[in-house]
Structures are given as C-alpha cells and as structure tokens.
Copies of this chain bind each other. A is one copy, B any other.
Amino acid sequence: MLESVDLDAKCSKEDYKAAMADLDLRLGVLQRNLKDAGIPVLIVFEGWDASGKGMVLGRLLEAFDPRGYKVHHIAPPTEEESLHPAMWRFWNRTPAQGTIAIFNHSWYRQVVDDRFDNGLSGFALEAAYERIRIFERNLAEGGAIIVKFFLHISKKEQARRFRKLGKDKVFAWRVGKAEKRRHKHYDAYCEALESTFEETSRQEEPWTIVPATDERHSILTVARTLAETFERALARRAECSTGAVEFAPRHSSPLDGLDVSVRLPRTEYKQRLPELQEELRRLQYLCYVRRRPVVIAYEGWDAGGKGGNIKRMLRKLDPRGYEVIPIAAPQGDERTHHYLWRFWRALPKAGHFTVFDRTWYGRVLVERVEGFARSGDWMRAYSEINEFEQQLAESGAVVVKFWLHISKEEQLRRFNERQSTPAKQWKITEEDWRNREKWNQYWEAVSDMLDRTSTAYAPWTIIEGDDKCHARVKTLQTLVDRISKEVPALSEKDA
C-alpha cells in the first residue's frame, strides 16, 4: 500500500482554503449529527516520526466542538498499564456514544515497535494482531465508527525534517535515539507496516494512507476522508434494522439432573471452611509474588447466596489484594459505552484478585430475557465474551466462574424469609418477584450460557446452593484447586 502512494501530491493555497472552509462546516454539522445519533467514533493517527501527525490533528480539531472529543496520546505502557492485559489501556479510552476519541498513536504503535525492539514474531505476533482485530470488531459491531490514518513520507523527506528540527534548541530533543533508529531501518519498517495494514484492514475499518509531504494536502485528505466516512455511517444507520432471531428450543440442559439438595454437615463445615480460608490466604500471597491476577465471576439465581458466599471467600484475605465489584444495571457512563467497557476497566492488575458480584454475563441473562439487548447483540455476545476471557487467560489470569444454583422452592423460602425479617427486608424488591415469574426463560438463558461459554481457559463451576454450607465450601475448594493447579508453588529457589 505504501509504494502506490503519490508522495508528490500537493494542494494550492487557494484550493485548500476553499475546500477547508466547506469541510470545517460539514464536519461541525456531522459531529452534531453523530452526537444526536449516539454513534461513538475512534480516529487513529499513526505515521512516521515527523510526518506531521500533531499538526494535522491540531488543525482538524478546529472543526470540532471540544465538548465532543478527547485526544489520547499513546506512549509506551506505564507500569500500571503493563500490569494489565494488553488491550486494557485502550478499552479504558474507548469513547461514549456520540463522542469522538482521537488517538495520536494507538494500539498499533506497540505491535510495530515490538517487532523490532523485542523480537515479536510467530504465534505471539499473530496473537497481537488477533487482539487488535477483536478489539476493533467488538467496537464496530457495537455501533462505533473506526477511521485509521497513516501519514506517509519518504525516507529522504524524513531526513530533511529531522535536520530542520535539530537546528533549533527548543525542538532538538524531539529527534532522539529511537527516532534515529527507526529512520535508519526505514525500509524494514515499511515491510512491517505493510503486513500490519494487511492483517488489520477490514472493510469496516480500512486504513487510509495519507501522502504527507505537503501539509495542506494531508490535512485535506484527512478532513475529506472523515467527512465521507461519517456521512456513509449516518446514512447506513438510517436504513439499518435487525429482525428478531432466537435459538431453537433445547431438549436438554447442563442443569438437568443436578442435585441441589446436597448438604454438608455443620460440623464438617466448621472445620473445613477455616482451613480453606487459610489455604486461600496463602495462595493470595503466592499469586502476588508470582504476579498472577485472579478473576472470580459470580452469577446465580436471586437469593442464591452470592453475597454471603463472597464474604466467606474473602474472610481471611489481605484487603490490599482484592476488590469486590458489584454489578447492577449500567448507570451514567456505563450506559453510553460498549457493554464490556466497565468490566475491562475493573480488571485486577497482576497479582490481585477481583470478585465480580454479577458479571458481563448480564448481557446473555437479564438483557436477553428482558429484551434490553437486541437478539443480534446478545447472540454475538457469547463469542465476544469467550474472546474477552481468552485474553484474560492469555495475560496470565486465573479465570474462575461460579453459577450458584438453587431450586425454585428454596428461592421462594428465602424470599419469604427476607420479607418477614426486618433486618433483611431491604434485600428483597418487587423486581425479585418479577424475575421469579420468568424462571423458565432464565433457565433457558442460563443453560445456553453454560453450554456456550464453558471453555478450557474459563470453565463454569455449577454450585448446588440449597445448602449454604455446601455451597461455600465448594466454591472455596474450587478456587483453591484452580489456583493451586495454575500457579506454581514457591520452591527453595524463590526464597
């Protein structure tokens, strides 16, 4: 793609002025239309050093209302960022509906640099591209527009610009060792870029290579491409509609034949619970030393005993090392972002535990049953969630998922108990009773979830929950087993 670009492309001052006067107005109107339509936009600027990214970006911003965009300058990951999965820092920066996120450098910078500086290749390189594809596809299918620019100049032109910067004390520091090294290996970088463009150009998120020798020409190319892309997206949005689809009715379920009444004698509970808590406490420090994060997902029927179960699990842990994230219906910023956004943000850093009290599975449970998500959206979610959890596992996380299962009769008993106990009344609401009426629909949704998202890297464990003692010991035992299996114990060497 780089070879076929006409680097001599130019634009006269008069043509530029006339065209930009029009484009400034058009982009201003389009920004307001995108805002009204609730469409999030990601604009990526990549390009050679000194290709004028900052200048093009600065000029472009003049067309936009600052209340509607945010510019993100992507540097190498900070220590905090490097303790999270690779795409964490980009998910954190995804735009809300109706707003524009502009990336000066992006998720591409690191991949290309890592090929040269850290020998990224083979399967690891392929995985890095796959993460990018998943990220962009997730957002695009969630309704976002993604526009990607690469500002292209020749090696000779770059040398000329470096010399000019070097002559001025105020700017000289901008051409450092890394810039000089990249310049030296210009041709090799060209190859790496070409393969990057190939790996990551879908019809929905194509690359635009901008000839950037002439400043006016490059500004105009960017502004025009944006205006046309926005116009197409708005037109598409207007004609888009999806019909409802459903899975075929199921004949069996992973929940079939489950004995929810299994009990653990109270005396045994009193002995095993503290033992397991103590064991988990030691494993928490082991994970900390080994820098392995642990993601614990709790789902279950209303009154299934999640809260009490979580408290027992955490009882002896060091609070510096864990966080409980209770998930309710999305509020504020959560409503205007991709549904996975709030979960990405809350991921533990390496060595820490995060317990989610309800999770991203809301997409295929409550949002499906209540019709909050369109069928195309929740049907796509099974694979999106699998890809999400796979990225966690790849980053070293132990991913543990519990479904707290109780019988319909036991739920009724607990609801009634809550209603009649003053200290527990706040725990039961009208909504709980309404959900209970949809027990069968939830049963279908839970069965589909267990079928479609039990993976080798993130298996579900179904917890028989009518007896709370049994449930608590089984979750703790499962967690202890999983961590013990996945995180190597300390040996003499580690001392």
Tell me if A426 and B311 are in contact (CB < 8 A): no
Q: Per a CB cutoff under 8 Å, which of B58, B173, B317 touches A315? A: B58
Q: Count residues on chain A whose CB falls below 8 Å from chain B CBs.
A: 48
A residues near B (Cβ < 8 Å) are 25, 28-29, 32, 54, 57-58, 61-62, 65-67, 71, 73, 78-80, 104, 169-173, 282, 285-286, 289, 310-311, 314-320, 323-324, 326, 328, 331-333, 357, 423, 426, 490, 495
If A32-B426, A320-B104 touch, whether A490 touches B328 (CB-CB below 8 Å) is: no
Which residues from chain B contact A285 at a C-beta distance below 8 Å? 170-171
> In the complex the two chains form, is B66's CB within 8 Å of A326's CB?
yes
Q: How far is the CB of A143 from chain B (nearest CB, A)?
A: 21
Residue contact A286 to B170, C-beta cutoff 8 Å = yes
State the Cβ distance, A351 to closest chain B Cβ, in Å: 12
The distance from the CB of A231 to the nearest CB of chain B, in whole angstroms, is 17
Known: A328-B67, A357-B66. A58 touches B170 (CB 8 A): no
A171 to B: closest C-beta gap in Å: 6
Closest 7 CB pairs of A and B: A332-B332, A67-B326, A66-B324, A58-B319, A73-B320, A170-B285, A54-B318
**Docked-complex contact B423 and A319, CB < 8 angstroms:** no
Chain B neighbourhood of A57, CB < 8 A: 319
| In the complex with contacts A71-B323, A169-B490, A333-B332, A318-B58 CB distance below 8 A | yes
Closest to A281 in B: B170
Q: Considering residues A25, A65, A169, A311, which has the most beta carbons from chain B within 10 angstroms of its beta carbon?
A: A169
- Report the Cα distance A61→B326, complex, angstroms: 14
**Min distance, Cβ A349 to any Cβ of chain B, angstroms:** 11
A316 to B215, CA, bound (A): 13
Cα separation A490 to B65 with both chains bound (whole Å): 35
6 example contacts (A-B, Cβ-Cβ < 8 A) are as follows A32-B426, A61-B319, A66-B326, A104-B320, A170-B286, A331-B332
A317, A328, A332: most-surrounded residue (chain B CB, <10 A): A332
Residues on the B chain within 8 Å of A314, using CB: 58, 61
Chain B residue contacts of A61, Cβ below 8 A: 314, 319
Instruction: Kindly list chain B residues whose C-beta atoms are within 8 Å of the C-beta of A104.
Output: 319-320
Give, as a whole number of angstroms, the nearest-CB distance from A399 to chain B: 20
